[in-house]
Amino acid sequence: MNCGDEPSADALSQIERRIVADLQVVRPVMPAGNIVLFAAIFASLLFIAVYSLGAFAITVMSPLQTSTMLGTTAIGTGLLIYSLIHQMVPGSLHRVSPSLLPIAILMSMMGVIAALFQFQPDADFWPRAWVCLRAGTPIGFLAGVPFWLVLRRGAILSPTVTGTAAGLLSGLLGTSVLEIHCPNLDALHILVSHLGAAILCSIAGFTLGLRAERRSASRPFIRRP
């Protein structure tokens, strides 16, 4: 294979000099600690939001609906946290493709909602949907800030994929709050306004990630001295 020469000794010593000049002890990332951190942020924000808004949906939903909806959201949240932890460490082995996971989670949630709840025509559909979207989306955006603070220590490989997953995780927090709070059991309402909050947050995460990726690609090459 004729793929090129060896790097010059001069170039290598220049790289080495630059690295050694800035050498400091670093603490490796702790995946287990980060899992706990992500879960704690999610649980505490969920508790605060539900406490301030009220848990009216729990009294209206059947035990099957409550357990399945919250269970599906919990599984999706767990998988996203697991994926994000792996994305923070380059060279991790992914059991599920990180770019496909957000789509798979959203699709399965749509399926669960369509199967569990009935579609009931509602003349005030859009005003009600808007109220829920306006409550759930800001919660998601707000949750994105602490998640980003954890993620910025790693997650350097694909800001778009990480941004989408982190956005969806934040959005699922908004969705969970609405699932516990909103007593409207129309399937279309839940799909559009509850899950819509998660979709909007993941789109925002994707956009921010894309911007970060473009900024990274627009920096000039490091010039060799």
Partner 1 sequence: MVRYQRADPEAPRALIVALSPPLLRLFRSQIAIREHAEDLLQETWMRIHRVRHTYRPGEPVLPWVYAIARRVGIDGYRRTRRITSHESTMDVLPERSAQVENRALPEFATLVAALPEAQREVVTMMKVGGLSLEEVARATSCTVGAVKQKAHRAYERLRKLLEAHAAEGWKGGIDELR
Q: Which residues bind partner 1 (CB under 8 A)?
A: 1-7, 11-12, 14-16, 18-20, 22-29, 31, 87-98, 153-154, 156-158, 161, 214, 216-224
Decide whether 89 or 142 has the Cβ nearer to partner 1.
89
Closer to partner 1 at the Cβ: 161 or 188? 161
Nearest-10 Cα torsion for 132, 134, 139, 141? 130
At residue 166's C-alpha, the angle toward residues 160 and 169, to 5°, is 140
- Residue type at 178 in one-letter notation: L
Residue type, 122: D
Q: Work out how close the CB of 148 gets to partner 1 at its nearest, in angstroms, rounded to a whole number.
A: 16
Nearer to partner 1 among residue 90 and residue 111 (C-beta):
90
Q: Please, what is the end-to-end C-alpha distance for the chain in angstroms?
A: 31
What minimum distance in Å lies between the beta carbon of 19 and partner 1?
A: 5
Nearer to partner 1 among residue 59 and residue 95 (C-beta): 95
Shortest distance in whole angstroms from residue 91 CB to partner 1: 4
The interaxial angle of helices 63-87 and 101-116, nearest 10 deg, is 180
Rg of the chain (C-alpha set) = 22
